[in-house]
Amino acid sequence: MKNEYIPQLSEIKEVIRHTDLEYTFRMVYEGPVKPGQFFEVSLPKYGEAPISVSGIGHGTIDFTIRRVGKVTNEIFENYAGDSLFIRGPYGNGFDLENYKGKEIVVVAGGTGLSPVKGIVDYFARHMEECVSFTLIAGFKTPKDVLFKEDFAFWKQQFPVTLTVDSAPEDYDGPVGMVTKYIPDLKFQNSENAVFICVGPPVMIRFSTLEMLKLGIKEEQIWISHERKMCCGLGKCGHCKIGSTYICLDGPVFNYTEGKNLID
């Protein structure tokens, strides 16, 4: 029987720097994985941290990591050719079958783009599998924007709104919260539309309210609850909300369930 507590050693194939605090680590991995799932990434003596999968390749997976604490500080000292320990994947992830043949809208805030990036990547290369795809992504400032090269490719495939909360006067891109741009969305058939939203809880709340105003039903909305996850196995209870363990029952929830998870 597999011991879920024992990680495997994974080589870092590439490190992509986005900002001073956020890098993507491309790791060796063979096995099934879905967008929205997460792994425990660890280093002996320093501990482990739950990190969402931000990219799925052939024999690799990406982790986009923000340098914010003891474990992630140490991970940032490891670069291409070095290795990290990983265990997973955990959680339910986003099931692509729920979105094929639909009018898809993805709204993401900051590092919340990481868990849904696999969905964006997939449909950017398989536009024939959906009716339409729209991405609205928000960051604090232009310096905080992640995946700039990916954005350049995505903009060639479908409508993309890349907005920032604040910017210098000479900035010529969209400025404002992501919710500013949701009322402008148009659908061929709102009953065939699906909405995916990941980011800070307050952003998810007001973004989903705007989508409901457009006639999108609760069962057509998916969100991801990622705060407070810890062990990944439902043993520590750190992510428990009511009777729900986010790491086991989520982190991806249909809005009909997710709206009741108040932490």
Strand ordering across the sheet containing 103-109: 160-164, 132-139, 103-109, 193-198, 221-224, 252-254
Question: Binding site annotation covers 247?
Answer: yes
Cα 56 from Cα 229, distance rounded (Å): 21
The b-or-e profile of 230-263 (16+ CB within 10 A means b, else e) is: bbbeeeeeebbbeebbbbbbbbbbebeebeebee
Per-residue pLDDT band for 263 (boundaries 50, 70, 90) equals: low
Question: Binding site annotation covers 230?
Answer: no
Question: pLDDT tens across 153-200, in order?
Answer: 999 999 999 999 998 888 989 999 999 999 999 999 999 999 999 999
The CA dihedral of 69, 14, 17, 95, to the nearest 10 degrees, is: -80
Least confident of 44-53, 66-75, 105-114, 132-141: 66-75
Question: Binding site annotation covers 130?
Answer: no
pTM of the model: 0.93
Amino acid 191: pLDDT: 95
Cα 52 from Cα 251, distance rounded (Å): 10
Residues in a beta bridge with 81: none
Q: How far apart are the first and last CA of the chain?
A: 34
Tokens of 72: 């992630």
Report whether pLDDT(1) > 90: no
Contacts of 233 (CB under 8 A, 6+ apart): 4, 5, 90, 247, 248
> Distances from the Cα of 5 to the Cαs of 84, 128, 141, 253, in angstroms?
15, 41, 39, 25
Question: Binding site annotation covers 197?
Answer: no
**Over residues 40-68, mean pLDDT:** 93
Amino acid 148: pLDDT: 95
**Over residues 243-250, mean pLDDT:** 91
Under 8 Å between Cβ of 241 and 261: yes
Instruction: Calculate the CA 218 to chain-centre distance.
Output: 20
Cα 110 from Cα 107, distance rounded (Å): 10
